[in-house]
Structure 1
Amino acid sequence: MIEHIVGFKFNENTTSEQKAEIIKRAKTLKDDIPGIVSLAVGTNFSERSKGFELGLTVRFENREALEVYGPHPKHQELVSYLKEVGLTDILVLDFEIE
């Protein structure tokens, strides 16, 4: 299995409503994209986050499923919305679970 972890930073104009919409949209990816085993998304509460405000973890069946995820139209819709509402930085980690 593959674990995909993403942290998101936004500019000061990104509203809490827009962040809630990101969470709502991200949760639907599990139903729309094949190969996702589990998905969790939420608002950071840690002071150790270095400014990353939202976190996303997606567990995939295998690397091939991760490769399908990136260009999938539903994922790209979310990426477009993130940019539209003020995404300034992301941190991505992908690793295999043994």
Structure 2
Amino acid sequence: MIEHIVLFKFEEQTTEAQQQEAIKRLTSLKEEIPGIIDIHAGLNFSDRNKGYEVGLTVRFEDKEALEQYGPHEKHQEVVAYLKEIGLSDILVVDFEM
């Protein structure tokens, strides 16, 4: 199994409503992309966030499923939305369990 963790940082003009919509779109990918075992996302409330406002964890069956996730059309649609609302940086960690 593969654990995929992503932290998202947005521009100041990005609203909480837009971030909530991003979370909704991200979590809906479980129904759209094969190989996803579980997916969770939410607003970061930690005071140690270094500006990263949304967190995402995705559990995949294997590395092949992770590799197919990135270029998948539905994932790219969500990435386009994130950029549209002001995505400024991401931090990604992937590891095998």
Interval of TM-score (by shorter of Structure 1 and Structure 2): over 0.9
Structure 1 length as normaliser, TM-score?
0.97
* CA shift for structure 1 position 50: 0.8
SS in 1 for 2:49: coil
SS in 2 for 1:33: coil
1:8 equivalent in structure 2: 8
One-letter identity of the residue aligned with 1:35: G
Q: How does 1:81-96 map to 2 (within 5 A)?
A: 81-96=81-96
Q: CA RMSD in A?
A: 0.5
Structure 2 length as normaliser, TM-score?
0.98
Q: How does 1:61-76 map to 2 (within 5 A)?
A: 61-76=61-76
CA distance in 1, matches of 2:70, 2:58: 12
Q: Aligned pair count?
A: 97
Contiguous gaps of at least 5 residues in structure 1: none
Deviation digits for residues 40-79 of structure 1 (CA, Å, limit 9, x no counterpart): 0000010111110000000000000000100000100000
CA distance in 2, matches of 1:59, 1:18: 24
One-letter identity of the residue aligned with 1:53: E
One-letter identity of the residue aligned with 1:54: V
One-letter identity of the residue aligned with 2:67: E
1:57 equivalent in structure 2: 57
Contiguous gaps of at least 5 residues in structure 2: none
1:41 equivalent in structure 2: 41
* CA shift for structure 1 position 17: 1.1
Deviation digits for residues 16-53 of structure 1 (CA, Å, limit 9, x no counterpart): 11111101111110000000000000000101111100
